[in-house]
Amino acid sequence: MMQRPTGPTMPVDPTRWSLGIVSLCQMCTVAQAQSSLTLYGLIDVGVTYANHAATLTGHDSLMRFAEGVAQGNRWGIRGVEDLGQGLRAIFTIESGFSVGNGIILQGGALFGRQAWLGLEATPIGSLTLGRQYTLSRDFIRNYTIAHESPAGNYAYHINDLDQLVTSRINNAVKFTSANVSGFRFGVMYGFSNQAGEFAGSPSSTAGTANGEGSSRTYSIGVNLDNESFGFGIAYTNIRFPASATPPFTATIANVDTGPLRNIKTLGIGIRYVTDMGGVWGNWTHTQLVALVGESSTLNNYEIGGEYAFTPAVASGLGYTLSALSGRWGGRWHQINSFIDYKFSKTTEIYALAVYQKASGSNVIDGQDVPVQAEIGASSAFIGNSGIGANAQLVLRIGLLHKF
């Protein structure tokens, strides 16, 4: 029998909690027939090669085991209880994890991807409370090659400053309308949860004396999506993004635009699909409002398409231009390509080729610093191309399984 610790309190083992929750789900499914509980997940693994990746002295090639590229690795639980008269209680808890080393992602939070509870009424919509995605992610990412293909996190715009994939907000209340002939709208507000600072406050790392600070977010959006045509527009405003937990990034490749007072992003997306494939495009306009001094603006312009040769084999190509202006400048041209083979509805193998070319420079401490390339929705995937390199080529073979 394990003895209780006699010294300081031991840290909680999240694995024990995860196993316990899964067991609880199994018991609940048996005990309450009127409820629906679903355990789901996704695992993506593979090998990635990059011709230029930053080193301490410059750049070199990189070959690595890489995961969570097509989609982030996760497991989660969805629950629905029918309360009668078209009303349902709903919840989702979702955890991100690494297959390579077994750690929990999203800053170590057990349910760092999503954790919310709410009510859903059939003719009206849903009201949910907890850690949730913004409407930019809900309504605009569907119009990207990243979402429509296994190019995934290598094809999302640099470091996701326009909030299309990793835009998760703590302490949020969100209303999403019911789907009426493909039309939906939504509004969300994320509370700062700090006394006397309803609109949030900067952290001490941003040059103030307010301690850890707090972040406030609001997001709105509308979306029309029927069988062949889709159109969406969304706006998200994150105040004091560095005070969020975990903090939002303010960097684009080797350009640090922070510290920021606000990230304000407007996105518009459109697509047309057929049985054989589809085309899509989007534009995002992100204002990076500096805490002090001149601000910067990032515009992303993307087009792409996909063609299905057979029900199992598909390929596609996309192009993105990212243009930074204002206090900081730079331009990044990126070409995304993929081929995908589906063994089944839940398992597929894919190959990616992604190329990015950067141009421009910025004056930092009196020196002219050239802009570097960086492929990925996060610097954790590849990182900068390194000193002396303004281009990056990434090749990947991956395997994806959903359950």
Reply yes or no on whether the pLDDT at 323 is more than 70.
Answer: yes
* pLDDT given for residue 212 in this prediction: 80
Residue tagged 């141009």 (tokens): 359
> Among 69, 253, 50, which residue's Cα sits nearest to residue 161?
253
* 196-237 pLDDT tens trace: 999 999 986 544 444 689 999 999 999 999 989 999 999 999
* pLDDT given for residue 51 in this prediction: 98
* 254-297 pLDDT tens trace: 999 999 999 999 999 999 999 999 999 999 999 999 999 999 99
* pLDDT given for residue 23 in this prediction: 53
Q: Where are the alpha helices (DSSP H) in 48-114?
A: none
Angle at Cα 111 formed by Cα 108 and Cα 115, nearest 5°? 145
The token pair at 268 is 């518009």
Q: Which residues contact 212 (CB under 8 A, 6 or more apart)?
A: 203, 204, 243
Reply yes or no on whether the pLDDT at 5 is more than 80.
Answer: no
Q: What are phi and psi of 211, to 5 degrees?
A: 70, -135
Reply yes or no on whether the pLDDT at 15 is more than 90.
Answer: no
All domains of the chain, ordered by start, with CATH?
38-202+213-402 (2.40.160.10)
* 338-362 pLDDT tens trace: 999 999 999 999 999 999 999 999 9
Q: Where are the beta strands (DSSP E) in 226-276?
A: 229-239, 251-252, 255-256, 260-274
Residue tagged 């004056």 (tokens): 363
**Beta strands 251-252 and 229-239, pairing class:** unpaired
Work out the average pLDDT over 314-323: 98
CA distances from residue 172 to 162, 238, 320, 363 in whole angstroms, order as listed:
19, 12, 31, 39
- The terminus-to-terminus CA distance of the chain in angstroms comes to 35
As a whole-number percent, the residues of the chain with pLDDT over 90 amount to 88
